[in-house]
């Protein structure tokens, strides 16, 4: 009913503790606003009332310059406000850090510049976190390279991702839907592209989705599987299909330049063929295309052989004449 009011400052509230956190913010904000108005309006009023007037003699301040009542109030009111904030704050904080025992556990890994999610029953997604609604979900976060930070605004939930150690956060989503995820730790040129989405499904729907996730893609033709991997594995955050260069060269260009020389930033060159594409995916740092930066992450361990074949077939199919 008051959605417009709560969404004025904050995005939708989708987790169990979101409203608590927002309400604490409103409490601090509005009590500060009230105190601000009392002080400022009082000050303006008194300075007008007691301003110096030309034709009036100087009025001396009353000798009653001290009030125990007023001074106690000045002390007690802020003390009450600060105590409420403290107790409320620590209770909300504990709710956010104590993970319920029955939470399902999903592993989140930040990689420059995408996210991978590993599910309890096997299977992995990229840049798409799928969770059941009304179920506690525990996320175990880490990073493959630099510092990242995982933030789901609608859940009011955020945690740093560090290489070589695990951090934990959790939430219980109350509404089905698709919501944004951001990286909130500046992590290099691709930082702003490091967005993902959380898809909240009904628990039954999630079960079905999770059981299909592990299922193999053997029946799909290679180039179609490749096209799917292009978005699933986040190649599309840095490569396009339409010829325009993004962080990396367009796959259309790679496709059109098949059997031609690719020049690297150290002056060497190599013919673009299947082996070149494969090693570009698995060992991107060994040959850096001239004019680009060596920022592509390695996909070693993230793609199996069929998936590599699929990506190669897909890239080749882009220039129209299919050479598979
Ligand atoms: Cu990041």
pLDDT digits (tens, 9 = 90+) for 132-153: 999 999 999 999 889 999 999 9
pLDDT band at 280 (very low <50, low <70, confident <90, very high): very high
Please determine, looking at this structure, whether the domain spanning 222-317 carries the CATH number 1.10.760.10: yes
Taken as a whole, the chain contains a residue count of 324
Q: How far apart are alpha carbons 118 and 111 in whole angstroms?
A: 13
Ion ligand 1 neighbours, Cβ < 5 Å: 148, 183, 187, 194
Q: How far is CA 232 from CA 115, 201, 226, in A?
A: 11, 19, 9
Whether the Cβ atoms of residue 318 and residue 284 lie closer than 8 Å to each other: no
What's residue 41's pLDDT? 96
How far apart are the CA of 141 and the centre of ligand 1, in A?
Answer: 12
- Residue ranges per structural domain of the chain: 3-51+66-97, 104-213, 222-317
Average pLDDT, the chain: 88
Overall pTM surpassing 0.75 (yes/no)? no
Ligand 1 centroid, distance to 55 Cα (angstroms): 68
Using the mean position of ligand 1's atoms as its centre, give its distance from the Cα of residue 191 in Å. Answer: 5
Structure tokens at 17: 């503790």
CATH number of 104-213: 2.60.40.420
Give the pLDDT of residue 53. Answer: 81
Residue-level pLDDT at 216? 59
Read off the pLDDT of each residue in 261-284 and give the average, rounded to a whole number: 91
The DSSP code for 166 is: -
3-51+66-97 is a CATH 1.10.3470 domain: no
Kindly write down the DSSP assignment for every residue of 98-121, as one continuous string. S--TT-EEEEEEEETTEEEEE-TT
Q: Roughly what angle, to the nearest 10 degrees, separates helices 274-282 and 305-317? A: 120
CA of 180 to the centre of ligand 1 (A): 14
Burial class of residue 90 (count of CB atoms within 10 Å of its CB; 0-12, 13-18, 19+): exposed
Give the distance (Å) from ligand 1 centre to CA of residue 262.
Answer: 30
- Residue 190 alpha carbon to ligand 1 centre in Å: 8
């Amino acid at each position: 009913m008051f959605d417009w009011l709560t969404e004025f400052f904050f995005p939708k509230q989708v987790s169990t503790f979101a409203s608590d956190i927002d309400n604490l913010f409103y409490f601090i904000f509005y009590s500060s606003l009230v105190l601000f108005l009392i002080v400022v309006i009082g000050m303006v009023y008194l300075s007008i009332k007691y301003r110096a007037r030309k034709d009036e003699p100087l009025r001396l301040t009353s000798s009653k310059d001290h009030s125990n009542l007023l001074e106690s109030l000045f002390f007690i009111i802020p003390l009450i406000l600060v105590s409420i904030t403290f107790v409320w704050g620590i209770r909300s904080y504990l709710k956010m850090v104590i993970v319920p025992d029955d939470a399902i556990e999903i592993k989140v890994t930040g990689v420059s510049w995408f996210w991978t999610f590993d599910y309890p029953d096997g299977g992995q997604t990229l840049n798409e976190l799928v969770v059941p609604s009304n179920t506690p979900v525990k996320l175990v976060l880490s990073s493959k390279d630099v510092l990242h930070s995982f933030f789901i605004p609608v859940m009011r939930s955020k945690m740093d991702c560090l290489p070589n150690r695990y951090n934990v956060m959790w939430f219980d989503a109350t509404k089905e839907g698709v919501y944004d995820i951001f990286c909130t730790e500046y992590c290099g040129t691709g930082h702003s592209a490091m967005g993902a989405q959380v898809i909240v499904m009904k628990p039954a729907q999630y079960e079905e989705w999770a059981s299909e996730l592990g299922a193999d893609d053997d029946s799909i033709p290679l180039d179609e599987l490749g096209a799917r991997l292009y978005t699933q594995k986040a190649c599309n955050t840095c490569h396009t299909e339409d010829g325009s260069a993004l962080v990396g060269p367009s796959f259309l260009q790679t496709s059109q330049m098949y059997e031609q020389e690719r020049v690297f930033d150290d002056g060497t060159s190599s013919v673009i063929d299947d082996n070149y594409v494969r090693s570009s995916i698995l060992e991107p740092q060994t040959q850096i295309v001239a004019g680009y930066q060596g920022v592509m992450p390695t996909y070693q361990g993230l793609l199996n052989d069929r998936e590599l074949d699929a990506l190669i077939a897909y890239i080749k199919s882009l220039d129209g004449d299919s050479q598979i």
